[in-house]
């Protein structure tokens, strides 16, 4: 009986598989090229757990099926190679005999120089007697100088291919371009680039239909659609959710897997289930570009560009993606978006803890405060709730505690909007989390309000902003009123974080207006 599988390459006999015939054929055609003259040298790239190694194995099998013994097809892996940073060139060469034995079961003498490495592929004095098609997995895990050296040699072989038996080469990793660290420019400028895309919605549907046909348990179509929407078809996550839905949380196997089951699985995936793909993304998101990741939670128009190092890094590692938008003049632009809603929510939960941490060191509310003025209105009284938050900040200050210390700041040295967003979100959970559901609504370019609070049959919305100028307040009011009206609410509240403590100034910035028939209340919150 086959299963969903998300721990390494899948096996068609044991696991449900998306065949991806067109992608396999495209890769095969690039490697083989002209069977007599030579194939291409190129990279196969995508974030981790997207099926690169599986693709490599499928293409190898297809080449052997179509071309018999015309080619030697070899697969190397650089995973697990640890090189001493001071002597890594010699150390790498010392491991070459083991790499070739594992890949080809060929014993070779220890190379003593890079010339000996390139001689291994020579038509006359090399170790191969037939054209070689070579896959090198985890190639970009090697140190940059080793990558630079190797791709330079591969380029030389490509340009002098009449002297070498390296027919086709695929370097597999998360980077689309290799060797760019070289002072001479990219030495691998003969490369092509093949991106392994996420599953399409049709492929996700096919995957789950395989389960239904073999196990005879129905999966509600809305569940499959929800899996795709949450993951955007990321293969590792699609299969992981398949495991959770059909195995761990599949209590009633005689009943369909329905939306209730999906909601339980999704919440468990956010809160209690470990996933290596997500752990890897979170680790990378908290690295040197963490401030950019934080800013993406509050800005919906950050331009996407592979020429920005932070943007390229987050994109290639599967943290963000790009979205095409068209401006009022019909011009196409590209903006940054998180790779999927599930990735975004996992990052949000993790970063909330990092940004708040012990910055909630005292009680969020007076224990005797019943919040009756917040909950007894027809709609939730968000301004009254924000007054409690302001009181909380004052109590922190009275104790000599500064929640904004060492937090990310804008170029004008004001604290970024995201810091206020994360801190308020964490405070809301402490203050009313037992009574209400607090959920962030992330920007998608359409002006969505930031925080939604739902308490049984009542709800409220808060948009979080960082004060820039008076014109920005008017723009925020108009934007928030439109969205509130779309939701059928008569009131919306803006939490305007302002870099002053003077209550007179905060009172002048706070206001209540009617916009688009919606009551918009601006509550200015001082931070320092």
Do 81 and 129 reside in the same domain of the chain? Answer: yes
Q: Are residues 306 and 422 in the same domain?
A: no
Q: 369 and 347: one domain?
A: no
Q: According to the model, what pLDDT value does residue 448 have?
A: 65
Q: Which of 292, 482, 460 is nearest to 381 (CA)?
A: 460
Q: Say if 9 falls within a structural domain.
A: no
Task: Indicate whether 163 and 25 sit together in one domain.
Answer: yes
C-beta of residue 292 within 8 angstroms of C-beta of residue 305 = no
Q: Which of 458, 479, 278, 288 is nearest to 382 (CA)?
A: 458
Write the CATH number for 333. Answer: 1.10.10.10
- Do 117 and 167 fall within a single domain? yes
Q: For residue 469, is pLDDT > 50?
A: yes
**pLDDT for residue 442:** 73
Query: Is the pLDDT confidence value at 493 over 50?
Result: yes
Element (H, E) at 72: strand 72-77
Give mean pLDDT, residues 480-505: 91
Q: How far apart are the first and last CA of the chain?
A: 61
Retrieve residue 411's tokens: 């170029």
Is residue 518, in this structure, part of any structural domain at all?
Answer: yes
pLDDT, residue 492, reads 95
Contacts 24+ apart (CB under 8 A), 429-436: 430/360, 430/364, 431/364, 431/365, 431/385, 431/388, 431/389, 431/392, 432/371, 432/374, 432/385, 435/375, 436/380
Write down the pLDDT at residue 185: 46
Long-range contacts, 106-114 (Cβ 8 Å, 24+): 114/89, 114/149, 114/153
Q: Within this chain, do residues 461 and 501 fall inside the same structural domain, yes or no? A: yes
Quote the pLDDT of residue 82. 66
Q: Are 200 and 186 in contact (CB under 8 A)?
A: no
pLDDT greater than 80 at residue 475? yes
pLDDT of residue 383: 95
Structure tokens at 265: 């699985």
Residue-wise pLDDT for 324-340, tens only, equals: 988 778 888 999 999 99
- CATH classification at residue 141: 3.40.50.300
144-158 tens-digit pLDDT: 888 888 988 998 999
Q: Is pLDDT of 90 > 90?
A: no
What 3-state DSSP class applies to 439?
A: strand
Each residue's pLDDT tens digit, 14-35: 999 999 999 999 999 999 999 9
Residues 171 and 66 in one domain: yes
Q: Is residue 4 part of a domain?
A: no
Q: What is the arithmetic mean of pLDDT over 53-62?
A: 94
Domain that holds residue 335: 277-353
Q: H helices then E strands: how many in the chain?
A: 18, 13
Q: How far apart are CA 26 and CA 194, in angstroms?
A: 9
Contact 316/45 with Cβ under 8 angstroms? yes
**360 pLDDT above the threshold of 80:** no
43 shares a domain with 143: yes
Q: Which of 335, 344, 320, 326 is nearest to 441 (CA)?
A: 344
Nearest one of 236, 273, 230, 292 to 418, comparing CA atoms? 292
Please say whether the dihedral angle defined by the alpha carbons of residues 59, 63, 66 and 68, taken in this order, is positive or negative: negative
Phi, psi of 46, rounded to the nearest 5 degrees: 180, 160
pLDDT at 300: 79
Number of domains in the chain: 4
Say if residues 96 and 108 touch (Cβ distance below 8 Å).
yes
What's the mean pLDDT when you consider all of the chain?
Answer: 89
Residue 12 forms part of a structural domain: no
Q: Of all residues in the chain, what percent carry a pLDDT higher than 70?
A: 92
Instruction: Please check whether residues 369 and 269 belong to one and the same domain.
Output: no
- pTM for this entry: 0.83
Q: What is the pLDDT of residues 237-288, one digit of tens each?
A: 999 999 999 999 998 888 999 999 999 999 999 989 999 999 999 999 999 9
3-state secondary structure 111-167: CCCHHHHHHCCECCCCCCCCCEEEEEECHHHCCHHHHHHHHHHHHHHHHCHHHECEE
Q: Is the residue at 16 inside a domain?
A: no
Per-residue tokens: 212: 């239904």
Three-class DSSP category at 362: coil
Please give the average per-residue pLDDT across 94-123, as a whole number: 92
Average pLDDT (126-140) is 94
pLDDT at 73 over 90: yes
Are the C-beta atoms of 114 and 154 separated by less than 8 Å?
no
- 478 inside domain: yes
Of 289, 321, 353, the position where a domain reaches its end is 353
- Tokens in use for 315? 């994109």
Checking if the pLDDT of 187 tops 50, the result is: no
131 and 180 co-located in one domain: yes
Residue 13 inside a domain? The answer is no
Of the candidates 450, 472, 474, 476, the residue with the CA atom closest to the CA atom of residue 462? 450
Which of 292-301, 345-354, 487-496 is most confident?
487-496
pLDDT confidence of residue 81: 74
Same domain, 368 and 473: yes
Residue 1 lies in a domain: no
pLDDT digits (tens, 9 = 90+) for 417-464: 788 888 999 999 899 988 998 988 776 655 566 899 999 888 899 999
Residue finishing a domain among 273, 304, 332: 273
Q: Clarify whether residues 326 and 366 are in a common domain.
A: no
Judge contact between 449 and 482, C-beta under 8 A: no
Looking at 329, 353, 377, the residue that finishes a domain is 353
């Amino acid at each position: 009986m086959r299963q969903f599988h998300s721990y390494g390459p899948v096996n068609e006999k044991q696991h449900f598989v998306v065949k991806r015939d067109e992608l396999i054929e495209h890769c095969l055609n690039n490697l083989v090229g002209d069977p007599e003259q030579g194939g291409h040298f190129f990279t196969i790239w995508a974030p981790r757990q997207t099926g690169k190694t599986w693709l490599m194995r499928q293409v190898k099998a297809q080449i052997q099926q179509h071309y018999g013994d015309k080619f030697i097809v070899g697969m190397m892996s650089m995973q697990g190679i640890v090189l001493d940073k001071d002597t890594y060139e010699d150390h790498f060469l010392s491991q070459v005999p083991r790499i070739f034995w594992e890949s080809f079961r060929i014993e070779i003498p220890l190379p003593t120089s890079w010339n000996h490495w390139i001689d291994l592929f020579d038509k006359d004095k090399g170790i191969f007697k037939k054209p070689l098609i070579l896959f090198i997995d985890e190639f970009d895990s090697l140190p940059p100088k080793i990558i630079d050296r190797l791709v330079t040699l591969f380029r030389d072989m490509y340009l002098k291919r009449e002297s070498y038996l390296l027919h086709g080469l695929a370097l597999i990793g998360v980077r689309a371009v290799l060797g760019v660290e070289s002072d001479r420019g990219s030495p691998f400028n003969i490369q092509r680039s093949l991106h392994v895309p996420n599953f399409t919605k049709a492929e996700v549907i096919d995957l789950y239909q395989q389960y239904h046909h073999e196990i005879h348990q129905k999966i509600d179509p809305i569940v499959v659609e929800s899996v795709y929407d949450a993951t955007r078809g990321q293969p590792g996550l699609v299969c992981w959710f398949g495991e959770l839905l059909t195995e761990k949380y599949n209590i009633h196997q005689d009943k369909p897997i329905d939306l209730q089951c999906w909601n339980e699985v999704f919440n468990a995936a956010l809160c209690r289930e470990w996933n290596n793909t997500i752990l890897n993304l979170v680790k990378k998101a908290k690295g040197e570009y963490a401030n950019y990741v934080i800013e993406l939670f509050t800005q919906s128009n950050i331009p996407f560009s592979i020429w920005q190092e932070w943007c390229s890094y987050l994109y290639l590692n599967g943290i963000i993606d790009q979205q095409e938008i068209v401006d009022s003049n019909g011009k196409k632009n590209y903006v940054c978006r998180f790779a999927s809603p599930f990735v975004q929510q996992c990052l949000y939960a993790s970063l909330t803890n990092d940004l708040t941490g012990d910055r909630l060191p005292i009680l969020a509310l007076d224990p005797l405060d019943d919040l009756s003025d917040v909950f007894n209105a027809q709609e939730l009284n968000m301004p009254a709730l924000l007054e409690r938050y302001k009181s909380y900040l004052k109590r922190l200050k009275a104790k000599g505690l500064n929640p904004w210390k060492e937090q990310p700041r804008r170029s004008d040295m004001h604290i970024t909007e995201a810091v206020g967003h994360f801190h308020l979100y964490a405070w809301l959970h402490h203050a009313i989390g037992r009574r209400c559901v607090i959920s962030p609504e992330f920007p998608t370019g359409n002006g969505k309000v930031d925080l939604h609070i739902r308490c049984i049959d009542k709800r409220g919305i808060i948009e979080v902003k960082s004060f820039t100028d008076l014109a920005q307040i008017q723009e925020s009011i108009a934007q928030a009123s439109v969205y509130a009206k779309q939701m059928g609410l008569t009131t919306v509240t803006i939490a305007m974080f302002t870099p002053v403590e003077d209550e007179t100034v905060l009172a002048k910035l706070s206001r209540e207006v009617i916009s688009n028939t919606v009551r918009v209340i601006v509550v200015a919150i001082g931070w320092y």
